[in-house]
């Protein structure tokens, strides 16, 4: 009797162990605006670094080929079908993704946004790279720093629905009156595609003959704009600035197409988003205002009343420091 009982228990336990994985792994999907963007590839490196430290995490780096909300919805639906534990998304639209992300949350998937946010009802919290008003002010200041007498400037953005760029542009417009003589003549959209951004920059150059600066708050747009200014023979006349990766802009700083630009550390951003997604997915933290979540070597973040947290200040790069950082990101 005793033996039969022991055998039964052993068999039952064996069945349990056979069904369960060796250890509970947390699968975190890092969903980006589009693949092939060096900014997101740097963030993915940070996510892998965090996964290595956390030890039980698999990163699924994914996103559409074109930066549209429709294409991201398909990606989200497929992640729901795969039953991932967490989705950390940089969104192509603040509202369009909400129903799909709500479906994910209803199925127990942790959802956060980072870099480019989702409306509060579509995520548990949002991680900003820095404070939005500081970024908005920075992109105008970068152009004004090299225009002591003022002049016409234009913005070359990413997509027209990108949450982050739209907020930064709105913040930039608010502080414009503080920069006497800086005249914003146009805002155009290159959709974070190199070829479209290049054509939009060419359009600005030909439409505004007196243009003194192109401000591109996108790492894709700024490189295309610097190339368009170079090809138009306008180095020294039109300064290209905004947000960029040192690795992608080093040559344009050296040529003088860009005097300076700014960015935060994209590796740290992906690293931090992963730590936060992991903490929420494993119930080590709750996404509520006032909650502090530890993010490994970066420190900790505190969620504000608006369900958002912000990381460090953007750093400015120019000829004096570009080489030092161009090898990092």
Interface with ligand RAM in residues 139-158 (CB under 6 A) = 158
- Mark 38-77 with x for binding to ligand RAM (rule: CB under 6 A) and - for no binding: -x--------------------------------------
Judged by CB under 6 A, does residue 200 bind ligand RAM? no
Residue 199 host element (H or E): helix 194-207
**What does the alpha-carbon distance between residue 215 and residue 190 come to, in Å, rounded to a whole number?**
12
Minimum CB–partner distance for residue 158 and ligand RAM (Å): 4
**What does the alpha-carbon distance between residue 150 and residue 152 come to, in Å, rounded to a whole number?**
7
SS3 58: strand
Please say whether the beta carbons of 214 and 156 come within 8 A: yes
- Among 116, 130, 138, 272, which residue sits at the site for ligand RAM (rule: CB under 6 A)? 116
Cβ-proximal residues to 69 (8 Å cutoff; 6+ apart), any chain: 91, 92, 93, 96, 97, 161
- Among 29, 33, 98, 238, which residue sits at the site for ligand RAM (rule: CB under 6 A)? 33
- Among 72, 128, 164, 274, which residue sits at the site for ligand RAM (rule: CB under 6 A)? 164
Minimum CB–partner distance for residue 323 and ligand RAM (Å): 21
Residue 237 Cα distances to 145, 147, 189, 196, 215, angstroms: 15, 11, 22, 22, 14
**What does the alpha-carbon distance between residue 322 and residue 256 come to, in Å, rounded to a whole number?**
13
The stretch among 75-83, 182-190, 206-214, 216-224 that binds ligand RAM (CB under 6 A) is: 216-224
Judged by CB under 6 A, does residue 34 bind ligand RAM? no
Minimum CB–partner distance for residue 20 and ligand RAM (Å): 38
Interface residues with ligand RAM (CB under 6 A) are 33, 37, 39, 90, 115-116, 158, 162, 164, 192, 218-220, 243
């Amino acid at each position: 009797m005793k033996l039969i009982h022991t055998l039964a228990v052993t068999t039952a336990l064996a069945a349990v162990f056979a069904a369960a994985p060796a250890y509970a792994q947390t699968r975190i999907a890092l969903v980006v605006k589009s693949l092939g963007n060096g900014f997101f590839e740097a963030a993915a490196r940070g996510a892998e670094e965090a996964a290595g430290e956390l030890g039980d995490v698999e990163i699924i780096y994914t996103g559409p080929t074109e930066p549209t909300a429709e294409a991201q919805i398909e990606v989200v639906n497929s992640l729901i079908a795969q039953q991932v534990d967490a989705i950390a998304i940089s969104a192509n639209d603040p509202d369009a993704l909400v129903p799909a992300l709500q479906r994910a949350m209803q199925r127990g998937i942790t959802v956060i946004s980072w870099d480019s946010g989702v409306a509060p009802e579509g995520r548990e919290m949002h991680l900003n790279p820095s404070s939005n008003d500081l970024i908005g002010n920075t992109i105008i200041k970068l152009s004004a720093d090299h225009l002591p007498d003022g002049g016409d400037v234009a913005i070359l953005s990413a997509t027209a629905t990108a949450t982050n760029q739209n907020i930064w542009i709105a913040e930039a417009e608010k502080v414009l009156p503080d920069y006497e003589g800086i005249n914003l003549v146009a805002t155009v959209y290159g959709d974070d595609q190199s070829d479209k951004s290049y054509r939009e920059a060419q359009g600005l150059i030909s439409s505004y003959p007196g243009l003194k600066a192109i401000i591109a708050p996108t790492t894709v747009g700024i490189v295309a704009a610097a190339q368009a200014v170079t090809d138009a023979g306008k180095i020294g006349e039109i300064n290209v600035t905004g947000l960029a990766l040192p690795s992608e802009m080093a040559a344009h700083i050296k040529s003088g197409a860009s005097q300076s630009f700014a960015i935060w550390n994209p590796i740290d951003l992906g690293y931090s988003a992963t730590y936060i997604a992991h903490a929420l997915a494993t119930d080590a933290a709750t996404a509520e205002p006032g909650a502090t979540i530890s993010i490994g070597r970066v420190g900790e973040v505190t969620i504000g009343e608006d369900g958002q947290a912000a990381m460090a200040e953007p750093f400015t790069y120019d000829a004096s420091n570009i080489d030092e950082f161009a090898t990092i990101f």
